[in-house]
Amino acid sequence: MLEQEQVHHQLYPISQPGTMTEMDKFVFDAFGYILIEDVLSLDECEEVLEAAKRLHKDGPKDRLHQIGRGFETEQAIENLIDHPAVLPKIRGILGDRFVLQAAWCTIQPAGSQSVGWHQDGSGAVEFRNLGVYPLPLLQLRASFNLTDQSQHFMGNMMLIPGSHHGQVRLPDSARKEIYASPIQHIVTCKPGAVLIFHNGVWHSPMPNHMDYDRYNMHYIYSPPWLRRSDRDATDPAFLERTTPLRRALMGDYARPDVPFGGGFPAIPFDDEANGNGNGKA
């Protein structure tokens, strides 16, 4: 039974760390996203934030900018690839055969805005061209909020719940609007919260009116045959030194046909730490 205050949390699809419960599955299907609060402590968040700032040290500071593959050089970013609060959700949604397709560290600089409502995918061949309805789940994104987004205009993520099921696209005329739709949701959360969402959900960053930069760390999981988008191949030195689980999640195979030929090797999940996503954490 849910407590009364859990029911109306501004219609938030709130979830708890760890196992993907039956209710999580229902909520994720209905909304296309779930939010887990307090995944990182403030100290843990600070560590990842410092890493994010180092990555963006020489980058542009006037618009949203993203830098990939930070896990190869920053331990704090590597550590979140298989975070035990999040990985069981990924397994519960995608099953046990997936890879880290990209890891984007994004900055929405102080006093900047990049409003642009979109669905994730490929400008080259849009995911919607693969099947009319429903839009396939090809990129499952776990976004760690590294800075405070507990009020509006802090670079918050804005999403339209359930829009991954929609056959009607968001009107062109709305796509640059902050308030694009009467059913949009502006996520407010503290540093350390994680938003997990389906590539089909229409979303946009809210402007950042703060006098400090907003950082998010996005981990994108996908079927093993989807081309990686933040790297052509993973740094061999990283593959050499990381854990067997993370190495497997990189999707660097001895033969390119591995994800196609039926010989896909089991990913060495530690079921004690990572659960199996389906209620047996």
Which residues lie near ligand AKG (CB under 6 A)? 64, 106, 108, 120, 203, 205, 216
- In three-state secondary structure terms, 115 is coil
Is the Cβ of residue 74 or residue 120 nearer to ligand AKG in the bound state?
120
Q: Which is nearer to ligand AKG, 99 or 154 (by Cβ)?
A: 154
For the chain, counts of helices (H) and of strands (E): 8, 10
Q: Tell me the two tokens of residue 93.
A: 């949604």
Distances (CA, A) of 10 to 6, 7, 122, 185, 186: 9, 9, 32, 9, 10
Q: Closer CB to ligand AKG, residue 161 or residue 277? A: 161
Least CB distance to ligand AKG at residue 106 (A): 3
- When the beta carbons of 64 and 267 are compared against ligand AKG, the nearer one is 64
> Closest approach of Cβ 120 to ligand AKG, in Å?
5
Q: Closest CB to ligand AKG among 155 and 275? A: 155
Give residues with Cβ within 8 angstroms of 254, minimum separation 6: none
Each residue of 201-213: b (16+ CB within 10 Å) or e? bbbbbbbbebeeb
State the minimum distance, in angstroms, from the CB of residue 236 to ligand AKG: 27
Name the minimum Å distance from CB 203 to ligand AKG: 5
Ordered alpha helix ranges (H), the chain: 4-7, 22-31, 42-55, 75-78, 87-94, 236-241, 244-249, 271-274
- Residues of 78-103 as b/e, b for ≥16 C-beta within 10 angstroms? bbbbbbebbbbbbbbbbeeebbbbbb
With CA atoms as reference, report the closest residue to 204 among 233, 169, 180: 180
Please name which of 79, 27, 40, 92 lies closest in space to residue 281, comparing C-alpha atoms: 92
C-beta of 60: minimal distance to ligand AKG in Å? 14
Measured N-to-C along each axis, helices 87-94 and 22-31 cross at an angle, to the nearest 10 degrees, of: 70
Provide the minimum distance between the beta carbon of 253 and ligand AKG in the complex, in angstroms, as a whole number: 26
When the beta carbons of 19 and 164 are compared against ligand AKG, the nearer one is 164
> Which residue lies nearer to ligand AKG by CB, 215 or 269?
215
